[in-house]
Every structure is written in structure tokens, then in C-alpha cells.
Amino acid sequence: MNMKQLAAEKAVEYVKDGMRVGLGTGSTAYWAIRKIGERVRAGLNIRAVATSKASEKLAEEEGIPLIPFDRIDGLDLTIDGADELDRELHLIKGGGGALLREKIVAYHSKELIVIADESKFVDKLGSFPLPVEIVPFANEWTMAALEKLGAKPMLRTDGERIYVTDNGNYIADCRFGVIENPAELHRTLLALPGVVDNGLFIGMASRAVIGRQDGTVTVMNPPDVNGR
């Protein structure tokens, strides 16, 4: 079993009968959705929402009951991957372009469990370029404004074409270097007109499940890693 699958399958143990569950996006969340599907077929009774068209399609294939947003007012648990996570369980997400839907779903979940292989765990965020979702209108100006913040932004492409998110927006992948104050950067980015959201998830994850190369899995809560 690979590290992503290990982490994902451990996290799925937290899914209990009757829960309303958010399904993440990406190659790690893939394994969680597969495992949830297996448990649903074995009788687990849950309702779910997906954070991307890709995860919605996979959930449908797995037979996981998806529920429209107007039928529920929130979620019990969301399981999602990350591109980077630090000791405080602050995250960089959006490598797969799904950050906006992921953040909305995580915000409305009582708990967000982040699943990752050990390579994603970092001392300080910032090696992974921060995905920033921007509206197409005047994107050249928004890119210039990001550059003024020291971001070295690159408009994400999909081969020849500009990559378009599930929400019809673009992604600027921004290299800020080491992010010393993720919360401050998050606020600064949100204040920029044209920016819809960014991949910093500050204080949203309540637990991390990390799959390790030696075949073990570590479960981390923010108080544990802070030594409290």
C-alpha cells in the first residue's frame, strides 16, 4: 500500500454511520473516496458533498450518495489532501486547482482531516508555489499586483491553454519563498481585487493523518505538535 493510500484509509476510520461527509480532491483524496465507497457498499450510511467535478464523478462511480447543498446546512467531517502542511496544521492546497470549493466545504465542516504522505510535512510553508485563484477579468493586472507582493506569479496552463478551475477562474501559482506569517499573507491576498481565494488554509485542519515510507501512519492534532 502506498503512503497516500495508508493515510487515506486510516482517516476513513473516522467516518461514522449517519455522518455528512466532505470529499476532498487529488491523488490522496482519491484513496479516501475509494475506501468510503467500499464502506458504503458494505452498509455505511452517509451523505456526501464533493469538492470538485472530478471527485463528484468518482463518488458517483463508487456509489456514494451525494446530496445537494440546499438539502444540508453543513458537514460533520471533511477528508482532504494538501500540498504542504506545517506543525500548526496550516496548509497549502490547490495544486489540483480545487482550493476554492475545498475551502468552502472545509469551512462548513465541524472537522477537517488532512491526509498526506510524509513528504508534504514541512517546517515552514512555501516550497510549494501558493495557488491563488483569480478571476479572468483583467487577470494581467491582478498578476502584476501579485508580483508587487513579491510572489513571482505564473499563470497555470493546461498544456497550451490557460488552466480554468471548476468555477471558471484562473490560477496564479505564486512563489513567495518561505512564508513566515501564513495568516498575514492570507489576509493580504484576500484584500486584492481580482483574487477570489488562495490555497492557504489557516487553522482549519483539526487533525492530520500522515502516511510514512516505513508503512506506519501518524495521526497529529495541533495541540500535540505544539507540545501542549
Ligand X SMILES: O=C[C@H](O)[C@H](O)[C@H](O)COP(=O)(O)O
Rank residues 95 and 194 by Cβ distance to ligand X and give the closer one.
95
**Identity of the residue, 90 or 141, whose beta carbon is nearer to ligand X in the bound complex:** 90
- Closer to ligand X by Cβ: residue 119 or 228: 119
Shortest distance, position 145 Cβ to ligand X, whole Å: 23
Query: Position of cell 478571476?
Result: 135
To the question of whether residue 25 is assigned a binding role by annotation, the answer is yes
Distance CA(159)–CA(130), nearest Å, equals 20
Rounded Cα distance, 228 and 225, in Å = 8
- Report the distance separating Cα 132 and Cα 171, nearest Å: 5
**Contact call for residues 124 and 217 (beta carbons, < 8 A):** no
Residue with cell 492557504: 200
Residues that bind ligand X (CB under 6 A): 24-29, 80-83, 93-99, 102
How near is the Cβ of 169 to ligand X at its closest, in Å?
13
Confirm or deny that 86 is annotated as ligand binding: no
Would you say 165 is a known binding-site residue? no
From the candidates 56, 62, 102, 133, which is the catalytic residue? 102
Residue type, 105: V
Determine whether 62 is an active site residue: no
- Nearest approach, Cβ of 171 to ligand X (angstroms)? 9
HSE-up of residue 26 (Cα within 13 Å, Cβ side): 24
Answer yes or no: is 53 a known binding residue. no
Evaluate whether 156 touches 185 at the Cβ level (below 8 Å).
no
Residues annotated as catalytic (active site), given as ranges: 102
Binding residues for substrate: 25-28, 80-83, 93-96, 120
